[in-house]
Structure formats: C-alpha cells, structure tokens
Amino acid sequence: MTTTTTETTTETVLDARGVTMRFGGLTAVKNVDLTVRSGEIVGLIGPNGAGKTTFFNCLTGLYIPTEGEVRYKGTVLPPKSYKVTAAGIARTFQNIRLFNNMTVLENVLVGRHTRTKEGLWSALLRLPSFGRAEEASRERAMELLEFIGLAHKADHLARNLPYGEQRKLEIARALASDPGLILLDEPTAGMNPQETRAAEELIFAIRDKGIAVLVIEHDMRFIFNLCDRVACLVQGQKLIEGTATEVQSDERVIAAYLGEPFEGAPGAEEAAEVAAAEAGAAEAAEPVAAAAEEPEAEAAEPVADAAEPVADAAEAEAAEAVAEAEAAEPEAEAAEPEAEAAEADATTAEATEPEAAEADATEAETPAPATEAAQHNRTTSTDGEAK
C-alpha cells in the first residue's frame, strides 16, 4: 500500500505583481508584489490607511487594479468577485458582512452556493437531484459549524451572535466555498484576549486543512505568533517582507507605526516638510509663551491664588506662610502633568477613532443583501469597505 507523503512542494497559490490602485489623485496601493505559497500563513500589516484593505479588494475582484496582475495558482484572476471566489479565493471583511436576518446555518449555506451545481429549474421543480444537493450542502455547512465551534447555534439568527462569534461565522461562510486561499481582514478586531487566542488556533487549523492564509491584523502579538512571513505596507508601498523576527525588529516598521518619518520612507519628504512647518509655527508661538510666563514669575501671589483650587485645600492653607517664590514653583510643576495628560488624551482619541469609524460603518452595512451575487454587485459598485 502506498502512503501519501507530506506535501513538501511550495506551490505558489497567490502571485500579485506590481499591483497599483489609484483613486483620482490618491495612490492607495503602489506597485506591490506579494506571493503566498501553499501551507503558508502570511501576514499583512501597516498603519491605518496604509492600503491593506484596498490591496485585498484588488486581489478579490472588488477593485480592478489600475496596474498589475493577480494570479491564483498560475491563472490570471477575472475582475469579478464571484468569479474569484469560484476560482478558489475566499475572504472575510474588516466590517463584518453577514446576512443578519438569516440563521447561522443559512449564512454558511449562502457561502456554499458557488460549489453547488444545481440550477434554477431543479430548485424550482424540486427535482430529486436538488434535494440531494441541498442535503449535501447542509451536511457540509454543519461540518464547518462544528469546525468553528458554532454548531450549537446553527438555528440562531446571525444578528444575535456576539461580535466574536459573528467574526467566526464569517470565516465559516468563507470556508464554505472550499477555497485554496482565504484572506482575513482584521479577524480579531473587537475580540477579547481569549477570543483572539481561539482565533489564532482556528487559523492554524485552517492552514492544517491545506488552505493558505493571508491575514491583515493590527494585533502584532497575534501576527508574529501566527505568520510564517509578514509584509508591511506603508502609504501603499511594501516597506519590508520577511520572517516575524526580521519584521518586528526592523526599525523602519517601528517608526512607521509610531508615525515617525525615516530615511527612504514613502512620503518621508512630505513628512519632513510638515515637521519643518510645525517647527516654524512652534518657534513663532514661543515669544508669546515666554511673554505669558514672565508676569507669572513677577507676580507670584496671584499665581499661588489661582493654583489653590488645583492643590489640596488643606495643603494650600498650610502653604500660605511659605515664601512667594516657592509658591510659584509647584504651580509650574503642576502645569507639566496637565500638558502630559492632554497629550495622552489626544493619543487615546487617535487610537480609538478608526475603531469607532469602523463600528459606524458596520452598523451602516447591516441590511442583509438577498443573495451573495447581490452582495458582490453592491460591494463592487461602492468601494468594498465603505470607506
């Protein structure tokens, strides 16, 4: 008896070459090459707005790239998303797109339709072949629900699932088309640490089923644990591609995430101009700040008075006897943490903004299209991610 050998070939599943996507004057993706081989989990990272989702949209036929070519297992992909799905690439969306008023099982069945051969007439006439095909689809869909751990909720409406389970259901729906490659756009967004850990296991299990994975994520621990290779996009261009160790220790990647310009970075010149303009503005503002400080130092008494509500009342009373010059010092110190707090606020606001925007978009997208074809039309005619 012959035994099957472990697959050691590294067939190129996805081969994207020179992919460029322009929206008017904006180049969202610029000349990006990326390959994914069988058995691989490849990560795509990059700051917000780097072009990751746009790149996915180019790979899946939602956008026709302005330039470049995308091949799946050696064949150039057709520029229609349902044809791309039929060819073997499935995806999930950054903003969850389930059919909210359908059950969990029905959602997976919808994902299965590219693999069912039964036509309209056999469905309308309820021919025996249709019944058999339907039964086989249900079985396969239930298998997938078992696989992702949602079989016990097969009859629940999709909209009643918690957020983490909705993300898993999207993965099951994508798997229902029997893909050779699955693209996951931020699969752990909004998940708690346990759910994220479970998602990691699920993705390993998907890879072990022989499905190659390309995954976008902002959670670096997740990405670096999971991926064989990671590519980083910055302002539409691929900055670096390598192993997790190579990418996470690359100073340019760190700088890109911190928003710091670095030598040779896409857009570094523009960033330098902005920095210079900001520095100029700060210099111009300095004399005003200095002028404002002087009277404070001279008239320490009013400053001490003004500081009273900030400081502890008892302390302030005890401090009344302290020399005027000393009273001015704590005031100056107190101002610093305030400034820091304001900065921290600004950072938090920045960090949470995209999520909030995404949540809005998700809500806006809740009406469920009747068929997957309708969904494709809708996403093609809009922008794929409602950005």
Q: Pick from 242, 211, 268: which is nearest to 45 by CA?
A: 242
Contact 267, 235 (CB under 8 A): yes
Q: Pick from 323, 321, 316, 317: which is nearest to 300 by CA?
A: 323
Contact 284, 75 (CB under 8 A): no
Q: With respect to ligand ATP, which residue has the nearer C-beta, 63 or 130?
A: 63
Span near ligand ATP by CB under 6 A; candidates 41-49, 75-83, 110-118, 239-247: 41-49
Contact 195, 208 (CB under 8 A): no
For ligand ATP, the binding residues in 51-110 under the rule CB under 6 A are 51-54, 94
Span near ligand ATP by CB under 6 A; candidates 45-53, 84-92, 110-118, 198-206: 45-53
Which partner in Mg ion, ligand ATP, none is near 51 (CB below 5 to 8 A by kind)?
A: ligand ATP
Both tokens assigned to 339: 């400034």
Which partner in ligand ATP, Mg ion, none is near 92 (CB below 5 to 8 A by kind)?
A: none
46 counts as binding ligand ATP under rule CB under 6 A: yes
For Mg ion, the binding residues in 287-326 under the rule CB under 5 A are none
Span near Mg ion by CB under 5 A; candidates 64-72, 92-100, 142-150, 277-285: 92-100
- What DSSP line would sit under 350-378, residue for residue? HHHHHHHHHHHHHHHT-SPPSSHHHHHHH
Span near Mg ion by CB under 5 A; candidates 48-56, 229-237, 247-255, 376-384: 48-56
Which partner in Mg ion, ligand ATP, none is near 96 (CB below 5 to 8 A by kind)?
A: none
Both tokens assigned to 13: 């599943």
The DSSP 8-state label assigned to residue 103 in this structure reads B
Which residues of 145-234 form beta strands (DSSP E)? 181-185, 212-216, 229-234
Q: With respect to ligand ATP, which residue has the nearer C-beta, 49 or 261?
A: 49
| Cβ neighbours for 91, distance < 8 A, ≥ 6 positions apart | 56, 60, 174, 182, 183, 184, 185
53 counts as binding Mg ion under rule CB under 5 A: yes
Residue with tokens 């099957």: 4
Total residues in contact with ligand ATP, by rule CB under 6 A? 16
Q: With respect to Mg ion, which residue has the nearer C-beta, 94 or 379?
A: 94
219 counts as binding ligand ATP under rule CB under 6 A: no
Q: Pick from 206, 186, 205: which is nearest to 196 by CA?
A: 186
351 counts as binding ligand ATP under rule CB under 6 A: no
Q: With respect to Mg ion, which residue has the nearer C-beta, 94 or 114?
A: 94
354 counts as binding ligand ATP under rule CB under 6 A: yes
Distances (CA, A) of 281 to 69, 272, 344, 346: 45, 14, 22, 19
364 vs 358: CA distance, rounded Å? 10
The least CB distance from residue 29 to ligand ATP, in Å, is 7
Binding mask 357-386 for ligand ATP (x = CB under 6 A): --------------------------x-x-
Contacts with ligand ATP by CB under 6 A lie at 23, 26, 28, 46, 48-54, 94, 354, 383, 385, 387
Contacts with Mg ion by CB under 5 A lie at 52-53, 94
